[in-house]
Structure 1
Amino acid sequence: MGESANNEGVAAVDRALSILDAFTAQDAGLTLSEIARRTGLYKSTALRLAESLEKFGYLRRDEEGYFKVGAKPLYLGTLFQRQFRTADVVPRALRQIAEELRESASFFVRDEDRRLCLHRVDAPRAVRDAINEGDRLPLDTGASGHVILAFAGQAGPRYDGIRRSLHAASFGERDPETAAVSCPVFRIHQEFAGALTVSGPRYRIEETTVGKILPVLVRHAQELTRQFGGNPDVFRALSPEAPPGL
């Protein structure tokens, strides 16, 4: 009996959250009928849940009866931004990437006119590229630098290609013996957060191929984007076309 009631409670929470998920950035507001249609709920159920969400500030209703997102989600978003630390999630992803690909994994962010290695996990091999947490490297060489520049709005065919394909690769740019593949990670409002990167000796990266590295990198970039508060669905449009000029 208790378990049944618990399951019903969980289902009610799921339905209530589905109402919040029904809103998009293009919506000025939704009628009860639109909410019911988007969620698949009966109008009576949608109304009951919407009124509960309104009571706790997650929804509000204007004079014309349209439901709109309330102030409470903004408050929760502010809490998320205050409490979130990259160190809580990024190193774990880097360890998994390094284990899967047996190459080094890094997370780069922009630091004025350089790129900063914020987190790093070395490859479980004796031969690897030499990058350490805290290293500041040029922005205009290396896959992660190109990703950072691309999502900072850098013009040019190469950067247009990176924005389309959501990745960059470099071979021997910063060091003739190393290569790297990099993907963007996004945070709240789809703002660029950093560049998730796999790097190693050039001959091994070329032997493994970008085509085999990229799916692993994208999967973790998606998950980090979700954890950062961004929309991971952007990676569904990942183009198989490599950025030009690589």
Structure 2
Amino acid sequence: MTKDPESDPKPGGVAAVERAFAILNAFQPGDASLPLNELARRTGMYKSTILRLIATLVQEHCIVRLDDGSYQLGSMLLHWGGLYQAALRLDDHVPPILRRLAQETGEGASFFTREGSLRVCLFRVDSSRSVRDHVHTGDLLPLDKGAAGRVLAGFDRALVDPSQFPPQPLIATVGEREPDIAAIAAPVFGPQGSLRGALAISGPAMRFSIDLVPGMSQALLKAASELTRRLGGDSTLLDRAESINMISRPAP
């Protein structure tokens, strides 16, 4: 029997609001519309509960009831999305994530975007260690060298067909841009799969050891996923990725 969560709200939450969001969250990429039976299956709610809630969601243009009796997301969600995008500023979201990433990994954390055949460092938080990689906000660096450059060149739909994207989102390099400097980078996506930038950690290669790299890469994946969601992108690729275990130097 379907277990209706109506009597079991999350601690501190408002049950009716949580159930309304559960209905909206039942829609997944590729769903043009959903019948009542499928909404009940995905949410675990009784149909009677869904119908009561949907009446309000329809009234507020969050859900639309089609002629065949199925439901689809309404125009109010697009309106809210437009408001969010209009108010979105990288300055509000990137620096806090970089600070946390630098603290968790002990290495410098940077956010790069592409500028033609180069990449520019838009935000940077240095490592607290005296020996570190020296990258500064505003630096222009090669697009074809370094982990962040490879991410920007490899995951940009303007340059590469998505079918040709690298097999996994983490890219690591040693000594490509500067001798004895290692880096790990991951893409940050925005709406419609757009590439908003590359999130990277970098520092002396001797500190990117086999014992530390898995934790570093996991922290980077988590940060890139969170930033992607904040910027309105789909974080599925990052959420499903596995951390890397080591960074190999290129053959001489």
Q: Do they fold alike, i.e. is TM over 0.5?
A: yes
Point out where structure 1 has 5 or more consecutive residues left out of the alignment.
Answer: 1-6
8 A contact 1:181–1:210 mirrored in 2: no
Match of 1:26 among 30, 46, 52: 30
| Cα distance in 1, alignment partners of residues 189 and 15 from structure 2 | 30
Deviates more, 1:114-123 or 1:17-26: 17-26
Q: CA-to-partner distance for each residue in 1:15-72, whole Å, 9 max, x for gaps?
A: 0011111112222211122211111111111011111111001111122222111111
SS in 1 for 2:166: helix
5 Å-filtered alignment, 1:179-190, equals 179-190=182-193
Equivalent residue number for residue 137 of structure 1: 141
CA pair 73-136 structure 1, distance change in 2 beyond 3 A: same
| Cα distance in 1, alignment partners of residues 182 and 248 from structure 2 | 16
| Cα distance in 2, alignment partners of residues 14 and 163 from structure 1 | 38
Q: What TM-score comes out, normalization by structure 1 length?
A: 0.87
| Cα distance in 2, alignment partners of residues 240 and 125 from structure 1 | 24
The structural deviation recorded for 1:100 is 1.5
Point out where structure 2 has 5 or more consecutive residues left out of the alignment.
Answer: 1-10
| Cα distance in 1, alignment partners of residues 50 and 249 from structure 2 | 52
Is the aligned partner of 1:68 residue 2:49?
no
| Cα distance in 1, alignment partners of residues 69 and 192 from structure 2 | 28
Is the aligned partner of 1:167 residue 2:175?
no
Match of 2:202 among 172, 196, 199: 199
Is the aligned partner of 1:237 residue 2:248?
no
Deviates more, 1:73-82 or 1:182-191: 182-191
Q: What TM-score comes out, normalization by structure 2 length?
A: 0.85
8 A contact 1:165–1:241 mirrored in 2: no
Is the aligned partner of 1:210 residue 2:213?
yes
Is the aligned partner of 1:147 residue 2:151?
yes
CA pair 245-47 structure 1, distance change in 2 beyond 3 A: farther
Match of 1:101 among 85, 88, 105: 105
Equivalent residue number for residue 81 of structure 2: 77
| Cα distance in 2, alignment partners of residues 64 and 233 from structure 1 | 31
| Cα distance in 1, alignment partners of residues 69 and 118 from structure 2 | 51
Q: CA-to-partner distance for each residue in 1:77-124, whole Å, 9 max, x for gaps?
A: 111111111111111111111112111000111112211101100000
CA pair 188-155 structure 1, distance change in 2 beyond 3 A: closer
**Greater percentage in helix:** 1
The structural deviation recorded for 1:147 is 0.5
Equivalent residue number for residue 90 of structure 2: 86
5 Å-filtered alignment, 1:37-48, equals 37-48=41-52
| Cα distance in 2, alignment partners of residues 232 and 34 from structure 1 | 24
| Cα distance in 1, alignment partners of residues 198 and 139 from structure 2 | 14
Is the aligned partner of 1:13 residue 2:20?
no
Q: What is the number of equivalent residue pairs in this alignment?
A: 237
Deviates more, 1:25-34 or 1:91-100: 25-34
| Cα distance in 1, alignment partners of residues 15 and 198 from structure 2 | 38
SS in 1 for 2:14: helix
Match of 1:117 among 108, 113, 121: 121
| Cα distance in 1, alignment partners of residues 82 and 125 from structure 2 | 30
8 A contact 2:171–2:185 mirrored in 1: yes
